[in-house]
Amino acid sequence: MKRILVSGGAGFIGSHLCMRLIDEGHYVICLDNLFTGSMRNISSLIESERFEFVNHDVTLPYHTEVDEIYNLACPASPIHYQYDAIKTIKTSVLGAMNMLGLALRQNAKILQASTSEIYGDPIIHPQPESYWGNVNPIGFRSCYDEGKRCAETLFMDYYRQNHVRIKIIRIFNTYGPRMLPDDGRVVSNLIVQALQNNDITIYGTGGQTRSFQYIDDLIEGMIRMMNTGDDFIGPVNIGNPHEFSILELAEKVIKLTHSQSNIVFKPLPHDDPKQRKPDITLAMEKLNWKPTVELDEGLVHMIDFFKNNL
């Protein structure tokens, strides 16, 4: 049994990770300030003797004894990370420093949940880990994009300078149960609008593409990455390489929900990427990992979740 800390553990991804780690027999400390996380997400774990919830902001130091750390703390949807841009970049940068400091003191292995947003609006397609990205450093999304890029820098410098055992993954668009219905991300937006028979909002022409990964596939990739030897640190892309246009996604959602919604088009937000698709060659080679849940199957699970929780 390992003693594992998950920062951002009450969030969408974090809560699924906590459950998986508990199921594997570990003791889990869930660290979260509940800005976008929710006690409801971890309600089934509260009574477990191997689970501990700590209401704490990662911009402040935290001390405990741990074997492993998953650093997930940071709002991930544009609505939430733009709400307080300065707080967002502090969470990414100071949070990374505090978690790395804890890992250094405890000689713990630490995984950084980075993001495909570090590639910005890519001019290479699909995106391999060797691509440095095309990011606007002064835009509306920069607090998140550049915060995550700086966090990767910190992880690499703690590795090179202090020999901290690090892992870096870059998470591509992920969806599934426990996403917030009002978080502004495309899959949850479209499903909620369709279930309520409201107009379905498409930004731009709908021709921009994304690759959508179901939450269970992501969690499997994260754990496999954490369990690799110290010689492989990443970064490694974790995402589904099957590419869909936003318009295709909207049409799938309407069909699966039997919605009467109409599609309406609105202007594209600032710095919205035109394409996003992971090259997962490295994940397949190093982690023996690839996604197994196709979009139609995952959407059915998520639609059922929102039907019961809206």
Residues involved in catalysis: 144
- Phi/psi class of residue 80: alpha, beta or left (left: φ > 0; alpha: ψ in -120 to 50)? alpha
Cα–Cα distance for residue pair 63/211, rounded to 1 Å = 38
| Contact between 305 and 177 (Cβ < 8 Å) | yes
Q: For helices 215-226 and 12-23, give the axis angle rounded to 10 degrees.
A: 60
Residue of 233, 162, 223 whose CA lies nearest to 2: 223
Instruction: Give the bridge partners for 127, in sequence order.
Output: 278
Say whether the peptide bond before residue 241 is cis (omega within 30 degrees of 0). Answer: no
Contacts of 224 (CB under 8 A, 6+ apart): 287, 288, 289
- Tell me phi and psi for residue 289, to 5 degrees: -125, 140
The token duo for 260 is 């009467």
Element (H, E) at 296: helix 295-309
Cα–Cα distance for residue pair 118/112, rounded to 1 Å = 13
| CB crowding 6-18: b at 16 or more within 10 Å, else e | bbbbbbbbbbbbb
The token duo for 310 is 């809206």
